[in-house]
Amino acid sequence: MPACDRCHRGQFPIDVELDVENTELSPGVRRMLATVGQQAAFDQGRQQMELLAGLSVTTKAVERTAEAIGADIERRQQRELAQALQHPSPHTRRRHFAFPTAVSTVFERSST
């Protein structure tokens, strides 16, 4: 097991490749937890995981995983929106919509 030069702790490079570094859950299980966590109450999601996948997880695990993945999706969407605003395609035009609590920008593909 290779050790980190800085902290001298063991590391497994394959864990990074498999997306299981610092977690007990595989990417597939995390996706399942996020799905059941966003569709129903977290405890109901825990029950669904046991019924459908035979996995015993805590209600808190469903909650934490669903919230973490939701936050990651939100960050990615915000980053994509910021990039689109900085570098709009020549085939798009901006339309601004004002709502009582927010202003939204929608990009519309032109027909030319």
Question: What residue ranges do the domains of the chain occupy?
Answer: 13-109
Predicted TM-score (pTM) of this structure: 0.55
* Nearest one of 8, 37, 7 to 25, comparing CA atoms: 37
- CA distances to 15, 17, 56, 68, 81 from 75, rounded to whole Å, are 24, 22, 30, 11, 10
Residue 65: the pLDDT is 87
Q: Are strands 103-109 and 92-98 parallel, antiparallel or unpaired?
A: antiparallel
Positive or negative torsion for Cα 101, 102, 103, 104? negative
Residue 38: the pLDDT is 85
pLDDT tens across 2-44, in order? 566 677 666 666 656 655 565 677 777 888 888 888 888 999 9
pLDDT at 104 over 60: no
DSSP string, the chain: --B-TTT--B--HHHHHHT-TT-SS-HHHHHHHHHHHHHS-HHHHHHHHHHHH-----HHHHHHHHHHHHHHHHHHHHHHHHHHHHS--TTEEEEEEE-SS-EEEEEEE---
Residue 9: the pLDDT is 66
Give the residue with greater pLDDT, 108 vs 28.
28
pLDDT tens across 36-93, in order? 888 889 999 999 989 988 989 999 989 988 888 888 888 888 888 888 778 766 666 6
